[in-house]
Chain A
Amino acid sequence: MKRHWKRIVTLTVSAVMAGAMLAGCSQEAGSNSQPENPTVEKESDTSSVEAEFGASPSGEVTIWGWDETEILKDHLAEIYPEVTINYVTIAQSDLPQKIQTTLASGAQMPDIIQLESTTRGKMYSLDCWENLSEAPYYVDKNIFTVDQLPVSVDQDGNLLGLPMGSVPSAMAYKRSLTKEYFGTDDPEQLSKMFSTWEDYIEKGIEVNEKSNGTVKMFAGLSDLYNVLIGQTIIPFTKGDKLNVEESLTPALEELTKMKQAGIVDTLEEGSPALMASYADDVHIFYPCAQWSPRWVLKPNDSRDGAWGLMELAGGAVNWGGGVYSIPKTAKNKEAAFAVIKWITMNPESAVPRRDELEVFTAIKSVYEDPEFYSRTDSFFGGQDIDKMFAYTIIPKMDETNVRPLNKYDVEVKDAVSSALKTINASEDGNVDVTELIRQIETDILSRCPELSK
């Protein structure tokens, strides 16, 4: 009976709230969240990483994510015994929808959400995340590596999420093929041989001739696009104006040139066919992120010592990665902050993350130890690839060459994938790049009426 009455009361109250519902996100934040921690007077101490907030967390923390931060549960349990972590796996592709429907219905958001790179620009623009640069968090963004800063902040430079780790990328190659066609499998020598994309095209044509068209330099266009677009920082939009012609033309032209030269195969991004190609002997080069060996290369190729790793031509780029963000309407912000603080800001966390998850951290100070990241990998013929990533490649990345987030990242990517299909389908790369750009503009403008050419 009591429950019955409770329901009726809830209904009436909710009906009244329904009117107030239209006031939206900010109002709900006021009625749902805990009172702000009174240690705001710590303003003078803004440079300190050890802010008071989150010092003694307790209660339940719900995380939505896609990777196995769950592995860190045990470590976190030791450090914060009063906190119970409730980890919910949600596929990367479903996360934006889930966030949006939760916000729209006013349902309870979790305490922490992992935001992945391709949709982060859009997610940030939802304006539903705690500003971790300000009270009561006061995270100093300069403790993070320079390559993660542009992709962790919003356009005003505020940290809306704490970066999980550096995600540099390089070029992986199959040793037997490079030996056969280029006479060496040494990463340094190959790096010099392939210091620009033109070199790839030139040598690629030779490979084509030698192998009668069976062996190709690259398996597909999309991974190459990810690299090429990361190598410029020309923004996709300038204010309200679409700027794709300037920002996308170089990458699309390069890809078209490669297609015309016949050095790229037609396998599509993430397709099982592409995955299968890792183990074959007709595709030589694969863009490779720091996390690729564990999650992509090794699962798809069981051979040992067949691969090598060299630097990318044209500059290093970020690939993938995530940040931890706290929704404005989270219930347990203090514990949430404590958790993500340990994972992303406490150098101690870098150890299990390195050993158990095989990922890098984004804490600058960790990289001061030149021995911290080192792994001789027999998969790569004994190369110490972590060392290369951490101490050769990452230092070359900074704000001048790391592409920042854009609110329209998703729309651009979607429109480009259609264009890539067109290039893919064409005979000998017979496409007009200006036509592709035009189509991309039309696509984006359809979806975003607030933009103009």
Chain B
Amino acid sequence: MQRLEKRCRKLTPYFFILPFFAAYLLFSVFPFAFAFFMSFTDWTGVGTPSFVGLGNYIRIFTQDAAAQKSFLNTFYFLVIAIPIEILLGLLTAMIIKDFVPKARGAFQLLNFLPYLTAPVAVGLIFQFLFDWDYGTVNQLLASIHIENDHIYWLGTEGTARFVVIVVIIWRLFGYSMIILSAGLSTISEDLYEAADLDGAGWFQKQLRITLPLLKPILGFVCVISLINGFQLFDDPYMLFASQAGQPFGGPNNSVLTVMMNMFQASFMNFQMGYGASIAYTLFLIIFIFSMLLTRMMRREDC
């Protein structure tokens, strides 16, 4: 009887993970594997593919100036926007919890609104805000009499990148905030009360209690945000795709991200094989990166 139970116990984890992995194999693994094989061909999505070996991958690094620029752009956005939005999300989560606990729901909702907004709307709204002649931002600048108020936000490389970064931070910080809020809730109030008795200030409490205990969830948010950052597509795409006649990756491909390039290759240029190779190159980069990161975090936990 005991042995049967033990065997049942041993098998139970498999039962728990089965639903996920069954669906996963079917709806994720197969398509990914398919794309993997596709990346070694020149398949256009129509007709017969022919094997080109590493040709696609080589093309990325030697011939495709746009692809190279896209890796650079993605890196820019990643390094600048993601840390800021995580920080903002963390601060907001902490402040809401401690300073306005009664209006918690309302504040969370308001700060989460950006993430709720459909990507199409985001693109249109920010095009409107940063429009050269009629945009709200330029009009505000004019009303406070700044000298160079007529800025062509979406028409020059540097400023276009700036706008994309603003959009990314605006849209994502609420997302980080929500997850971190759920994480903050796992920290027992008793710890804070004990610290209060010791006379600790708010900042000290966050530093000594919250952050260390939040590490796993914070680590999670970092990994997720980084991955989101690498995969950035919606914001720069929508900023320029919501209107006809706008260049796909912004002025001179300045906001073209790797995923945008992949999308363009696969779905607009009819080069699905090449697009798959771009995606897999990115995948490799992210994978290595996040493995390193998670290993770093695990080491710290010990």
Residues of A that sit less than 8 Å from B by CB: 22-26, 93, 96-97, 100-101, 103-104, 122, 126-128, 222, 266-273, 276, 410-411, 414, 417-418, 421-422, 424-425, 439, 442-443, 445-449
Residue of A nearest to B265 (CB): A447
Given A270-B243, A273-B133, A418–B47 Cβ distance below 8 Å?
no
Question: Which of A122, A267, A449 has the most chain B CB within a 10 Å cutoff?
Answer: A449
Give Cα A96 to B45, complex, Å. 12
For chain B, residues 58 to 86, give those with C-beta under 8 angstroms from any C-beta of chain A. Answer: 59, 63-67
CA distance A425 to B150 in the complex (A): 11
Check A424–B268 contact: CB distance below 8 A.
no
Q: State the CA gap A276–B64 with chains docked (Å).
A: 39
Q: Which residues of B contact A26 (CB under 8 A)?
A: 47
Is B2 interfacial (CB 8 A cutoff)?
no
State how many angstroms separate the Cβ of B150 from the closest Cβ of chain A. 10
Q: Does B32 count as interface, using CB distance less than 8 angstroms?
A: no
What 14 additional pairs, Cβ within 8 angstroms, besides A273-B134, A422-B252, A443-B65?
Answer: A24-B47, A25-B46, A25-B47, A100-B45, A101-B45, A103-B46, A104-B272, A126-B270, A269-B245, A414-B247, A421-B252, A422-B251, A448-B269, A449-B59
What are 5 pairs between A and B in contact, CB < 8 Å? A104-B46, A276-B134, A442-B65, A443-B65, A445-B65
Residues of A within 8 A of B241 (CB): 93
In order of increasing CB-CB distance, the 10 nearest A-B pairs are A269-B245, A104-B45, A270-B244, A446-B66, A418-B247, A24-B47, A425-B155, A24-B48, A103-B46, A417-B247
Distance in angstroms from B154 CB to nearest chain A CB is 8
Q: Are B244 and A410 in contact (CB under 8 A)?
A: no
Over the window 42-55 of chain B, the binary record of Cβ atoms lying under 8 Å from chain A Cβ atoms (1 yes, 0 no) is 00111111000000
Q: How many residues of B contact A (CB 8 A)?
A: 37
Quick one: which of B246-267 are within 8 Å of A by CB? Answer: 246-248, 251-253, 264-265, 267
The answer to whether A421 touches B247, judged by C-beta atoms less than 8 angstroms apart, is yes
User: Is A103 a contact of B45 with CB atoms below 8 Å?
Assistant: yes
Closest residue to B156 on the A side, CB-wise? A425
Name the interface residues of B126-184: CB closer than 8 Å to any CB of A.
Answer: 128, 131-134, 152, 155-156
**Which of B47, B49, B67, B248 has the most chain A CB atoms closer than 10 A to its own CB?**
B47
**In the complex, A417→B250 CA distance in Å?**
10
Taken together as a complex, chains A and B put the C-alpha atoms of A69 and B182 apart, in Å, by 52
Contacting pair A421 B65 (CB below 8 A): no
Considering the complex, give the chain B residue whose CB is closest to the CB of A222: B245
| Complex-state Cα separation, A445 to B246, whole angstroms | 19
Which residue of chain A has its CB nearest to the CB of B135?
Answer: A273
Q: In the complex, are the beta carbons of A421 and B251 less than 8 A apart?
A: yes
Instruction: Give chain B residues whose Cβ lies under 8 Å from the Cβ of A96.
Output: 267-268
| Known pairs A273-B134, A446-B67; A101 contacts B252 (CB<8 A) | no
User: Binding site of B, secondary structure by majority: helix, strand, loop or mixed?
Assistant: loop
Q: Are B155 and A269 in contact (CB under 8 A)?
A: no
Complex interface: chain A residues within 8 A of B155 (CB): 421, 424-425
Contacts A104-B272, A418-B252; A127 near B243 (Cβ below 8 A): no
Q: Tell me whether A22 and B49 are in contact (CB under 8 A).
A: yes
Which of chain B's residues have a CB closer than 8 A to the CB of A414?
Answer: 247-248
Contacts of B264 in A (CB 8 A): 447
Report yes or no: A93 in contact with B45, Cβ–Cβ below 8 A.
no
Query: Using Cβ atoms and an 8 Å threshold, which residues of chain B touch A25?
Result: 46-47
Considering the complex, give the chain B residue whose CB is closest to the CB of A118: B244
A266 contacts which chain B residues (CB < 8 A)?
132-133, 152
Check A93/B244 contact, CB under 8 A, given A418-B252, A425-B152, A449-B64.
yes
For the complex, give the distance between the alpha carbons of A257 and B45 in Å.
Answer: 43
Please, which residues of chain A bring their CB within 8 A of the CB of B133? 266-267, 273
| Given A268-B245, A270-B245, CB of A128 within 8 Å of CB of B66 | no
| Minimum CB distance partner of B64 in chain A | A446
The smallest C-beta distance from B185 to any residue of chain A, in angstroms, reads 42
B246 interface neighbour in A97, A122, A267, A268, Cβ under 8 Å: A268
Given contacts A101-B267, A271-B131, A418-B251, contact A127 B245 (CB under 8 A): no
User: Which of B47, B66, B131, B244 contacts A443, CB < 8 Å?
Assistant: B66
Taking CB atoms, residues of chain B closer than 8 Å to A421 are: 155, 247, 251-252
With CB as the reference atom, state the residue of chain B lying closest to A269: B245
**Of residues B44, B59, B67, B128, which shows the largest number of chain A Cβ atoms within 10 Å of its Cβ?**
B44
B252 — which chain A residues lie within 8 A by C-beta? 418, 421-422, 439
Nearest A-chain residue to B267, judged by Cβ? A97
Say how far B22's CB is from chain A's closest CB, in angstroms: 15
Q: A269 near B251 (CB under 8 angstroms)?
A: no
A417 and B252 CA atoms in complex are apart in Å by: 9
Q: Which residues of B contact A272 (CB under 8 A)?
A: 128, 134
Give every chain B residue within 8 A of A417 (Cβ-Cβ).
245-247
Q: Which residues of A contact B45 (CB under 8 A)?
A: 100-101, 103-104
Q: Could you say which residues of chain B place their CB within 8 Å of the CB of A93? A: 241, 244
- The residue that B152 contacts in the complex, of A24, A122, A410, A424, with Cβ under 8 A, is A424
Contacts of B248 in A (CB 8 A): 414
Q: Looking at the assembled complex, report how far the CB atom of B118 sits from the nearest CB atom of chain A, in whole angstroms.
A: 15
CB B261 to nearest CB in A, in angstroms, measures 9
